Structure 1
Amino acid sequence: MSKTPNQQLRIIGGEWRSRRLRFPAIDGLRPTMDRVRETLFNWLQFDIEGARVLDAFAGSGALGFEALSRGAKEVVFLEKNPKAALQLKDNLKTLQARNAQVWAGDALLWLADNPEPYDLVFLDPPFGQNLLQPALQQLTLLPGALVYIEHESQLSPDLPAHWQQRKRKDTKEFSFALYEVGSQD
C-alpha cells in the first residue's frame, strides 16, 4: 500500500474556515473526521471563545486548529512524533497563529510535569496503545472544565466520578464523548 508523503485536513469553521493544512502520512495518525469535528464543535459552540485548550496526542492538530479558528485564547499541542510536531509548528506559522505552542514529546510526561488546569482538553490518543487511562489519571482540571475523549468502541475508560457526560456518540469502530468536570465534594 503506497502512501502519499503528505495529507491534508480542512478547517471546518471560524476565522480559518476552509483553509487546508498538511500533515505527514504516519502510521496510526488518524485526524478526527470532518463529520465528528463538526458534531464536536457544535457541542462546544458556546465554550470555545476565550478558552485555554490542551490538545494532547495532537497528531494532525485537527482539533486544536479548529479550536484556534473558533476563538480559543490559547492552544497547547502535545505530539510525540517528531515529523508530526514539526508539521504542527509549520502549520502554526502558515496561519500566523501566535497564541499556540507545540511540545514535541511524550504527552504523559508533559501532563505529569505541567499540572496547570485548562478549560478544554482533547484526549484522542493513538488506538491500541493503552494511553487513554494514564492520560486521564494525569489530568489536573478545575470544576467546569470540559474534556473530549475519543477511543476504540470496545474500550471503557475509568472516568472520575465527578465528571458528568454532556454528549456522546458511538460508531462500530470508535466512541467520542464530551464530559464536564464537576466539584469533588
Structure 2
Amino acid sequence: MLKKPFIHPFLPVLLLVAFSCWLLALTSCAPNANMQGRGNDAMQGEWKQVPEAVNNQLVTYTLYNFKFTCDSFFVAMQTHSRVNYGTDTCMNKGQWTEYVKGRYQQTKDTVWMRGFFCNPNYSLKNPGGCFRSGVYEAYFKVENVADTLLRLTPTSSVLPVTLHLVKRTNCVPKPL
C-alpha cells in the first residue's frame, strides 16, 4: 500500500500568500514614462495677459505670462497692489513677480497645474524670503476663444485670465 505524502496544514495558505504577493508586485508597479508628455497642442507656446481696464479698479491684481512646452509650463505672475503686504524691499512699491514651473494636465475643459515656485532662471526657490515658496497648485477652466486667444478662468476666482499668443511653438517631447 502506498503511503500518502505529508502536507503541512499551513502550506496551502503559504502558497496563496506567496502567489498574492507575486501578483501584487507584478501589477502594482509600472515604470515612469521616460519621455515628456505631449500636452495640449492648442496651448503650446508663449502667452501673455494684457492688462484690462477693470484692473485699475482693483486693490490687487495679477498679470500672467505663460509658456507651455509639451506637458510642462512656466509662469511669471506680476502682481500689482495698492496695499502694502510686507516690507517695501520685497514688494517694490506694490509690484512684484513670482515664478512657477511644473506640469499640467487637461481633462475636458479643466486644466490642472502643479509645480513649484522657482527663481526666474528656473531653479527651485528656497523656502522663506519675501514671497511664496513650495508647491503651487491651480485649476483653471480653459476656453480656446480663437487660435491666438486663450481664456483661463481660475476656480479660485471669478476674473478670467485672457491670454494673447506671443509665440507659437511645437511640442518636441524630451527624455526625462
Q: TM-score range by the shorter chain?
A: under 0.3
Please identify which structure carries the higher helix content: 1
Please identify which structure carries the higher strand content: 2
Q: Which protein is bigger by CA-based radius of gyration?
A: 2
Higher RCO (Cα < 8 Å, 6 or more apart): 2
Q: TM-score, normalised by structure 2?
A: 0.22
Q: TM-score, normalised by structure 1?
A: 0.22
